[in-house]
């Protein structure tokens, strides 16, 4: 494990160089890894594990769309694809990758297969951190570990296929066997992580819920809508408003920021853009800071978890969700986006 200095703060980081795939395969050679759930993270993690030579099976509810998707991806019923309980029985490591609501619902069935020495693996700290609401309390004689890729399972798979990696955090909640560290790092490398940085279950879920409600999705979508609506209100066309709000950011600027950082972006733009960005950055920061403070308080107090559990457990949740997504999809902003994407050179 390396100590890396990030802005004056030392962090524990594990790279592929110090923990190569061959070492991961040696650690996992006698393990049977069961990936439970085939939704957001399941496909990418399981396929990467398989391609890296790990003994992996998939557990999924039979006669479901996810079961059919797993079959389409090459998992063979009765050989590498099983019902959830049979997969758990066969496993020495259970990767619990169902949705948060799914984890709560399946926990009574999963818990009985957590026999001494097994490992329970998460990619999200929700179930453990909010155990008073989820009821997920693992037995004391198993390892409880976490690897959380910093992106979707789709991105994890695409980067893996391209020979790249997606950074992940890792955490150990419970080390019953003395092998939890080797197990968690081996799994993190084998699923295709670029590097792994240390966290704990609580910090992972607090940062994750804040991030996805904030800059990664909620705040980003809100800022898109606010700027687009202002431009449209002042007579700019949908195409112009969308290009200046979304297309230039996603297609031109963010790839360069990812490669070189925001400071490089500021140094390599026009004086007009540079001066305006520097002048307005702090205004947006100061305006948003109270909202982020409120958001973090709701996450850390468990109020956001309570809302997720309450809403997702209602019988009509899927129908109401689809209506909300339909409104988003059919808004002028994202209808304009659909047209702009069709006009990209690679689509013509």
**What is the CATH classification number for the domain harbouring 284?**
1.10.1040.10
141 plus 110 within the same structural domain: yes
Q: What pTM value is reported for the model? A: 0.90
- pLDDT of 59 > 90? The answer is yes
Q: Predicted confidence band at 239 (pLDDT cuts at 50, 70, 90)?
A: very high
138 plus 7 within the same structural domain: yes
The answer to whether 236 is a known catalytic residue is no
147 plus 46 within the same structural domain: yes
Mean pLDDT to the nearest integer, 104-128? 96
Q: Predicted confidence band at 9 (pLDDT cuts at 50, 70, 90)?
A: confident
> Is residue 255 included in any domain, yes or no?
yes
118 plus 234 within the same structural domain: no
Q: What is the CATH number of the domain that holds 176?
A: 3.40.50.720
Of 31, 55, 123, 124, catalytic: 124
User: String of b and e for 81-120 (b: at least 16 CB within 10 Å)?
Assistant: bbebeebbeebbbbbbbbbbbbbbebbeebeebbeeebbb
The residue among 166, 160, 173 whose CA lies nearest residue 196 is 166
Residues 6 or more apart whose Cβ sits within 8 Å of residue 82: 34, 57, 58, 59, 90
160 plus 250 within the same structural domain: no
- Domains contained in the chain, number: 2
Q: Please write the tens of the pLDDT for every residue from 171-198.
A: 999 999 999 999 999 999 999 998 999 9
- pLDDT of 2 > 90? The answer is no
pLDDT for the residue numbered 262? 92
> Is residue 204 included in any domain, yes or no?
no
Average predicted confidence (pLDDT) for the chain: 95
pLDDT for the residue numbered 233? 98
Q: Please write the tens of the pLDDT for every residue from 65-83.
A: 999 999 999 999 999 999 9
Q: Which of 155, 173, 199 is the last residue of a domain?
A: 199
Q: Predicted confidence band at 247 (pLDDT cuts at 50, 70, 90)?
A: very high
Q: Predicted confidence band at 117 (pLDDT cuts at 50, 70, 90)?
A: very high
pLDDT for the residue numbered 7? 73
Q: Which of 156, 179, 199 is the last residue of a domain?
A: 199
pLDDT for the residue numbered 248? 94
Q: Which of 199, 228, 246 is the last residue of a domain?
A: 199
100 plus 53 within the same structural domain: yes
Domain of residue 113 covers 2-199
pLDDT for the residue numbered 130? 96
> Is residue 300 included in any domain, yes or no?
yes
For residue 136, the SS3 value is: coil
104 plus 151 within the same structural domain: yes
192 plus 227 within the same structural domain: no
271 plus 330 within the same structural domain: yes
- pLDDT of 212 > 90? The answer is yes
């Amino acid at each position: 494990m390396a100590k890396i200095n990030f802005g004056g703060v030392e962090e524990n980081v594990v790279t592929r160089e110090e923990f190569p795939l061959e070492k991961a395969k040696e650690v996992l050679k006698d393990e049977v890894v069961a990936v439970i759930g085939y939704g957001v993270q399941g496909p990418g993690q399981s396929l990467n594990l398989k391609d890296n030579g790990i003994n992996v099976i998939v557990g999924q509810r039979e006669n479901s769309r996810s079961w059919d998707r797993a079959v389409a991806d090459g998992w063979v019923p009765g050989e590498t694809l099983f019902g959830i309980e049979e997969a758990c029985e066969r496993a020495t490591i259970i990767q619990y990758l169902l949705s948060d609501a799914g984890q709560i619902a399946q926990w009574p069935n999963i818990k009985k297969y957590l026999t001494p020495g097994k490992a329970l693996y998460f990619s999200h700290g929700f179930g453990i951190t909010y155990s008073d609401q989820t009821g997920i309390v693992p037995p004391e004689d198993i390892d409880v570990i976490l690897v959380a890729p910093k992106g979707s399972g789709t991105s994890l798979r695409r980067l893996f296929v391209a020979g790249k990696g997606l950074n992940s955090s890792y955490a150990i909640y419970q080390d019953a066997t003395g092998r939890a560290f080797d197990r968690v790092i081996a799994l993190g490398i084998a699923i295709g992580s670029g590097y792994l940085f240390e966290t704990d279950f609580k910090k992972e879920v607090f940062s994750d819920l804040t991030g996805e409600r904030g800059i990664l999705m909620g705040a980003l979508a809100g800022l898109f809508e606010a700027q687009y609506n202002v431009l449209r209100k002042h007579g700019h066309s949908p195409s112009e408003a969308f290009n200046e709000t979304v297309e230039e950011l996603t297609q031109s600027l963010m790839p360069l920021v990812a490669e070189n950082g925001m400071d490089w972006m500021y140094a390599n733009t026009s004086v007009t853009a540079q001066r305006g960005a520097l002048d307005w950055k702090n205004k947006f920061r100061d305006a948003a800071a109270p909202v982020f403070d409120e958001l973090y308080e709701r996450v850390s107090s468990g109020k956001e978890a309570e809302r997720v559990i309450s809403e997702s457990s209602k019988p009509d949740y899927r129908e109401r969700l689809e209506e909300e997504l339909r409104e988003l999809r059919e808004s002028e902003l994202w209808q304009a986006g659909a047209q702009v994407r069709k006009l990209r050179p690679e689509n013509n």
